[in-house]
Amino acid sequence: MEKKRIDIVGVQLDAGASKRGVSMGPMAIRYGGLLEGIEALGYTVKDKGDIVQLPRGATKDKLKNYEQVMDANRRLYASVMETLQAGAFPVVLGGDHSIAAGSVSATAKHYGKIGLIWIDAHGDWNNEDSTVTGNMHGMPFSAVCGYGPECMVSYGQKPVFVDIKNCVQIGGRDIDCAERIRMKEAGVTVFPINVIDKYGMEEVMTMAMEIAGKGTQGIHLSFDVDAITPEAAPGTGTIVHSGLTVREAFLAVELLAESQKLVAVDMVEVNPILDEKNKTGKLASELVLSCLGKVVY
């Protein structure tokens, strides 16, 4: 990617998840050497600090901690829009994955037509009716594509939804039954873990970038660290066995960096309370750096 200024914004939000602690994820990723690494790549970096959630609240329409998630996303949307309008590149640090509703909404609004690559063990394609838990971190992918909950993308502006034809889910291996039906009916392209086993990450990413990049102004990457096998990334709240290897994860983001099509990155669901000596925070930091062009040799 061209040497734009990189803006870092953290979101200290765990209200969208069932387990506490992921609100400390942004600091853990920074401690992993993120800012120093970005500067070493030759970028100017601006750390915009963190958006801090309101105290946990009540359930509304089956959506747990509705006000906290909505407030954080509304402020994140404004922050990412400010970054994009300044010609900078946003890197958003979570926090639980519900924050992608704010970041992706801003990217879509700014560029008009984007592709979206969602690397995650889960589908995140629930709404008020299909959700089993009521946790809003299981809903943002659906929301930004216009399949609800609409409240997650309504911040006083008319939402610009991401076209399903340009959306790809990679690494899924724990997708709810109702969620799976909704994704198939919507027409989301899904490369679950067994397809990655069959074709390899290089081939999967080649297909994914073609889908997300076709006719779009760029690709937004939303990366949940639970996509990675828990032996390598233990510091996350909803672990699922047999995930991406570390090298598969790095290859995915290295190929995206090479494509020169990335316009924004989310790195989410790092939970330091569950981690081992910030192993997952450091890994998340290195993955962001690879998104920005860091190479092995």
Instruction: Look up 276 and say whether it is catalytic.
Output: no
Here the tokens at position 135 are: 């946790």
Element (H, E) at 191: strand 189-191
Instruction: Look up 269 and say whether it is catalytic.
Output: yes
Which residue in 96, 124, 176, 275 is the catalytic one? 124
Q: What are phi and psi of 29, to 5 degrees?
A: -70, -40
Instruction: Look up 224 and say whether it is catalytic.
Output: yes
**Identity of the residue numbered 18:** S
Which residue in 50, 71, 122, 220 is the catalytic one? 122
Instruction: Look up 137 and say whether it is catalytic.
Output: yes
Instruction: Look up 275 and say whether it is catalytic.
Output: no
* 217-246 residues labelled b (16+ CB within 10 A) or e (exposed): ebbbbbbbbbbbbbebbbbbbbbbeebbee
Which residue in 7, 96, 97, 286 is the catalytic one? 97
Instruction: Look up 174 and say whether it is catalytic.
Output: no
C-alpha closest to that of 236 among 31, 92, 93, 25: 25
**How far is 25 from 244, CA to CA, in rounded Å?**
20
Query: 215 near 113, Cβ under 8 Å?
Result: yes
Which residue in 7, 50, 96, 120 is the catalytic one? 120
Which residue in 96, 269, 275, 286 is the catalytic one? 269
**How far is 296 from 284, CA to CA, in rounded Å?**
16
Which residue in 50, 110, 137, 220 is the catalytic one? 137
Which residue in 226, 254, 275, 286 is the catalytic one? 226
User: Distance of CA 150 to CAs 154, 158, 219, Å?
Assistant: 6, 11, 22
Residues taking part in catalysis: 97, 120, 122, 124, 137, 224, 226, 269
